[in-house]
Amino acid sequence: MERRFRLVLACPDRVGIVAMVSNFISSHGGSISDANQHSDPTTGWFFMRVEISSSTLPFSIDELKDAFSPIAKSFNMEWEISDSGSPKKVVLMASRESHCLADLLYRYHEGELDCEITCVISNHDDLRSMVEWHNIPYHHVPVDKENKQPHFDEVNRLIRENDTDVVVLARYMQILPESICSDYAHRIINIHHSFLPSFAGAKPYHQAHDRGVKLIGATCHYVTQELDAGPIIDQDVIRISHRDLPEDMVRLGRDVEKTVLSRGLRWHLEDKVLVQGNKTVVFN
């Protein structure tokens, strides 16, 4: 695919934002290959994502940022420009369940995820052979239930050592400490096996069975200091009936979980997710 620069921005809504951004790009000979925008009437904020063919601009990405900065300042923008030619570095984390991790590794192997998976971190050694088949480093970092801090210290070291852009919790069954959540705000993606905010916490399928729901789902969201309460990126559901036991729900839910997680990760990698408070704008 042709290399592109991606401009994403959010700012207080006012007349002239689209015109100013478009005129800036066209005045330098830039060709817009994709553009999306959203105005939120409840908050008065404006969101925009633009892809520009890098070959049509006379700038490097740093020069483009410098040239655009005065416009961003004049509109009080929160903004970022990324380069599709520099894929994000991703660390995957998992425990014993393999379905989400296996799906992400398959999609990565097939070129569906535009990123570099630098390593996999797990508190169990069960998935090593699968990961190493993909020639990806596997780090087994055990957890002492009486003292989890050494585990998280090592996890944090590995994340920093790999110059990580995104951490993906692919059914990693540990709660990250507040320090890591804060350091990587909106850069840690989790899959929760329920249709949040319903059935947060442990054993959501068992909770759903006890409640007698007719739909179960999965939620891909950013991790925050509050358990299972971060901004939601994507969700999906599957229909069940009174005949389905908790183990049936687990089996049925796995397909939803891996699809939702891979979709949410792909959107994040392509800079299609903009966070607004505890909600997201997703230009999918």
30 & 61 share domain: yes
Q: Is the pLDDT of residue 76 over 90?
A: yes
60 & 184 share domain: no
**Percentage, residues of the chain above pLDDT 90:** 92
77 & 92 share domain: no
130 & 265 share domain: yes
**Residue 194: how many CB atoms within 10 A of its CB?**
24
Task: Compute the C-alpha angle 35/38/43, nearest 5°.
Answer: 155
6-60 pLDDT tens trace: 999 999 999 999 999 999 999 999 999 999 999 999 999 999 999 999 999 999 9
CA proximity to 280, closest of 199, 185, 186, 166: 186
Catalytic (active site) residue 228: yes
Domain closes at, from 26, 53, 83: 83
Single-letter residue type at 17: I
105-124 pLDDT tens trace: 999 999 999 999 999 999 99
Q: Is the pLDDT of residue 199 over 90?
A: no
In the structure, what pLDDT confidence band is assigned to residue 202 with cuts at 50, 70 and 90? Answer: confident
Which one of the listed residues 228, 234, 244, 271 is annotated catalytic? 228
Domain closes at, from 83, 116, 144: 83
Which residues have CB under 8 Å from 171's CB, separation 6+?
94, 95, 97, 99, 100, 101, 191, 193, 257
CATH code for the domain in which residue 59 is found: 3.30.70.260
pTM of the model: 0.95
239 & 133 share domain: yes
Cα separation of 201 and 193, whole Å?
9
Mean of the per-residue pLDDT values of the chain: 95
Return the SS3 of 31.
coil
Q: Which domain holds residue 32?
A: 4-83
Q: At 282, phi and psi to the nearest 5?
A: -120, 115
CB 189 within 8 Å of CB 233: yes
**pLDDT at residue number 191:** 97
Q: Is the pLDDT of residue 1 over 80?
A: no
93 & 57 share domain: no
**pLDDT at residue number 89:** 98
For the chain, the domain total comes to 2
* Crossing angle for the helix pair 246-269 and 204-211, to the nearest 10 degrees: 130
